[in-house]
Amino acid sequence: MHASLTSSSCSTGKRIAVCADDFGLNADVDAGIMALSAQGRLTATSCLTTGPTWPTSAARLRELPIDAGLHLNFTEAFADDALHLPLPALIRACYLRRLPKSRLAEQIERQCDAFERHYGRAPDFVDGHQHVHQLPMIRDALLPILARRYAGQPLWLRRTAAPTALPAFRFKAFVIAALGSQRFAAQAETGGWRLNGHLLGVYDFSSDANGYAQLLRGWLQAANDGDLLMCHPAIAGAALTQAAKDAIAAQRPVEFGVLADPRIDTWCSAAGVRLVRLSEMLSELH
């Protein structure tokens, strides 16, 4: 039942998904994602089911015509009893295989449970906050759980490999992919899971509106059919201002403003890009 998207062309242009990460982080992130989804600027969102606003915002998310996925979290300390580490420490522990397997599995199960309980059904896809889903130990725990819980369902998983024509921040994109993309994709495809083609949207979270717009146009031009563009938008509000632990809080409204810009239609047209839900695109391959 598996299918993996590649860079093949299609008669309707390059079809890509645009996914906003971190739904459930706070009210301003949720509001920004819902507003952009209603405008047709997003086709997916990744949900932090351990986040403080997930239980109250999930119901409104169900009304939007986008894919909703589980944003697996092992780095944000939302729950005192949850296993979480700063990203560098988590990477180290995963590669040295020093994490307790039982707690890894328990946390993955709990986050799947929270997604289904509040959203009302299984996720359309699964990825990881700060791409933790692809790390050794975590991927080894995650894939069997997905196979048991969602066998036969049209779930897709995030591949983090960047396209060869990436216009900027190639080194950062390479580092992200080097932390498990190839191995994760191979294990996922062996298990029958579907994947996006490449990942776009990697940068240093420091651009102003003009800089981010330039990056966005570059990503659209570099995209291949079936790729995924990630983003992290939010409206500017009190919840965002108070998010002391959110390292990219100041950048989120910048992304929101550019993604809401009416010129995006022109930029997509110039790049030969059409925004789609990957769940629907992948279903065509079956």
Q: Would you list the domain boundaries of the chain? A: 14-283
The confidence score (pLDDT) of residue 77 equals: 86
Q: Which residue's structure tokens are 């301003």?
A: 28
Count of helix runs (H) and strand runs (E) in the chain:
12, 9
Predicted confidence pLDDT, tens digits, the chain (286 residues): 334 443 333 345 899 999 999 999 999 999 999 999 999 999 999 999 999 999 999 999 998 999 999 999 999 988 766 789 999 999 999 999 999 999 999 999 999 999 999 999 999 999 999 999 999 999 999 999 999 999 989 899 999 999 988 888 999 999 999 999 999 999 999 999 999 999 999 999 999 999 999 999 999 999 999 999 999 999 988 777 776 678 899 999 999 999 999 999 999 999 999 999 999 987 775 5
Amino acid at the residue 12: T
Token pair for 119: 């959203």
The confidence score (pLDDT) of residue 80 equals: 63
Angle subtended at Cα 261 by Cα 258 and Cα 263, rounded to the nearest 5 degrees: 115
The confidence score (pLDDT) of residue 166 equals: 84
The confidence score (pLDDT) of residue 33 equals: 98
Q: Which residue's structure tokens are 């790729």?
A: 227
The confidence score (pLDDT) of residue 12 equals: 58
Q: Which residue's structure tokens are 């992919």?
A: 177
The confidence score (pLDDT) of residue 285 equals: 58
What's the CATH fold of domain 14-283? TIM Barrel (3.20.20)
What is residue 13's DSSP assignment? -
β-bridge partners, 128: 72
**Secondary structure class of 129 (helix, strand, coil):** helix
The confidence score (pLDDT) of residue 284 equals: 73
Q: What is the DSSP string of 52-87?
A: TTHHHHHHHHTTSSSEEEEEE-SSS--STTS----H
The confidence score (pLDDT) of residue 239 equals: 73
